[in-house]
Amino acid sequence: MRLELKRVASISIIVAGYLGLIVACRGGQMVDILLLNGRIWTGKETQPWAEAIAIREEKIYAVGSNKALQKIAGTAKIIYDLKGSLVLPGFIDAHTHFLDGGFSLKRLNLKDVKSREEFIALIAQEAKKLGPGKWITHGQWDHQRLTPPELPRKEWIDPVTPKNPVLINRHDGHMALANSLALKIAGINRQSVSPPGGEIQMDSATGEPTGILTDAAIDLVARHIPEPSFDDKLEAAKLACQHALANGVTSVHDMGEATNFEVYQELARRGELNCRIRLYFPITEIEVFERLGLKGSFGSEWLTIGGLKGFIDGSLGAATALFFEPYSDQSQNFGLFHSQMYPEGIMEERIRRADRLGLQIAIHAIGDRANAVILDIMEKIIRENGPRDRRWRIEHAQHLRRKDIARMGRLALIASVQPYHLADDGCWAEKRIGPDRARTTYAFRSLLDNQVVLIAGSDWTVAPLNPLLGIWAAVTRQTVDGRHPEGWIPEEKITVEEAVKAYTVKAAYAEFSEKMKGTIEPGKWADLVILDRDIFTIPPQEILKTRVKMTFVAGQKVYNGEN
């Protein structure tokens, strides 16, 4: 094959064919980076594997064999010998609380606390560090990890926080513990009434608040916490990006607040935004889109407003996920509708308005009834307004009826799941919902078999921002307590390739970016992660030991784990 390119004299190499057939032309053209001797999973169905990648001007220039690409080795500014390392498209975490995650990296962390005494001691330490008058926040505690498992109470922490208001959240964000000072600031006492979509838990013996708040009730206290400064937010965003890149995550979907946008925008303006962010506004902010006449997602290659995020219910751990049948361990509790479901019909109205604007929606639904409710709404609006490329998402899609799994496939919906949650939930979920309902919990295999697009994320800070943990969980379905070595509900396991696609190919599709990311091929952004083990060939348990060696974004090495 012979090509003449008269208009561009500087071009000397044409890549013809996916395997890297190269034709030399007149002159010499530099490539910025050449990666050789790798085991490169491209994500392409036709040619899934390659050995070498050439990068030029932020994008992938050529992909192919060592022999083909070594012909341009002399033009490369930098050459890396990968020595057989596995290369993947940069991971896309499809569900984070990204700015909050940045704050969590330098705040109180109770996630791994195993006893009441340790819980109290760490909060006492935080109070001493912050000094009197400062709010103690974050926490990420999990009462299921305590021995014995028990919900904390304000009486635990009041003695060590007499001058510090406390509002520390359970790791799922749907339950929090407030101390007496914080409750007093919020005006919460024994006469207080729980708001719609939340609960102020009262002691059955004394009638006094225990300090435990769920969902909408958390806001009664949270509204009194001083807003972090803009500079604090910028620092948190930079920390979050650094943490993402260290985990091979080059793009994130932030289920955050509308105010997060100006933080990321300022970092982009300064040239300091080095991971790609797709921000979903709360669905309660739809008036902003309508007022400005914004239709569809918009933004740059670094920062995009992707759509609207809404809530149907709470979480399993907080016992606020909404089910058709009561919780097995709480016979009068069916869960709760989230406050965004009030007044009745408002969620359907907002989604209908979003559809008129051509906006993508991402709706949180965990319990089986919550998933059925949002499917009813989506199906109704799709039927009314006719087919189009919506790519609507159900976030978590955690507990499903068989018929609703099939319905998701028929409606061409996206299941946005967080695989590592099952490693935690599998330790105790059957006590809460029983073995029968658990059969279709985190039903990844069934979702794929019903042609549902499966994308994956961490839900950071609820779980660690590490896609390798999620891949391990999806493939093995083992639990952190070690009680299910063959997997909890093993028939719902998926393959390593299917799990990797959920963090790459499919996640790019879910954000309408499949033409620019998600696979390794010429013309796409050079967003790559290089691992120290081949997760496709090692025993699945070994995935937990895998580490990120390097991360590239837009052709720049932004993380080097080898140093």
Percentage helix, strand, coil, to 5, in the chain? Answer: 35, 25, 40
Name residues of the chain where pLDDT drops below 50: 1-28
Q: In angstroms, how far is CA 24 from the centroid of its own chain?
A: 44
Coil/strand/helix, residue 372: helix
The Cα–Cα gap between 251 and 66 comes to 28
The Cα–Cα gap between 149 and 18 comes to 55
Q: Going edge to edge, which strands form the sheet with 31-36?
A: 59-64, 52-56, 31-36, 76-81
CATH of domain 108-222: 3.10.310.70
The Cα–Cα gap between 39 and 84 comes to 6
Buried b (16+ CB within 10 A) or exposed e, 123-147: beebbeebeeeebbbbbbbbbbbbe
E strand map for 123-275: 136-141, 166-170, 175-178, 198-202, 209-215, 249-255
The Cα–Cα gap between 561 and 552 comes to 12
pLDDT value, residue 29: 63
The Cα–Cα gap between 49 and 63 comes to 10
Strand 76-81 vs strand 31-36: parallel, antiparallel, or unpaired?
parallel
| φ and ψ of 127, to 5 deg | -60, -40
All residues at 6 or more sequence positions from 356 whose CB lies less than 8 Å from its CB, including other chains:
385
- The 8-class DSSP code of residue 460 comes to B
**Is 380 in contact with 372 (CB distance < 8 Å)?**
no
Q: In angstroms, how far is CA 364 from the centroid of its own chain?
A: 12
Helix axis angle, 402-410 to 368-385, nearest 10°: 30
> Which residue has 């102020």 as its token pair?
200
E strand map for 273-340: 276-282, 298-299, 303-311
**Is 371 in contact with 400 (CB distance < 8 Å)?**
yes
485: which strand partners?
none
Q: How far apart are the first and last CA of the chain?
A: 44
Residue 380, amino acid: K
pLDDT value, residue 73: 86
Instruction: Specify burial of residue 428 (Cβ count, 10 A radius: 0-12, 13-18, 19+).
Output: middle
> Which residue has 């009680």 as its token pair?
483
Count of CB atoms situated within 10 Å of the CB of 480: 14
| Residue among 556, 507, 439 at smallest CA distance from 93 | 507
CA dihedral 463, 465, 468, 471 (to 10 degrees): 50
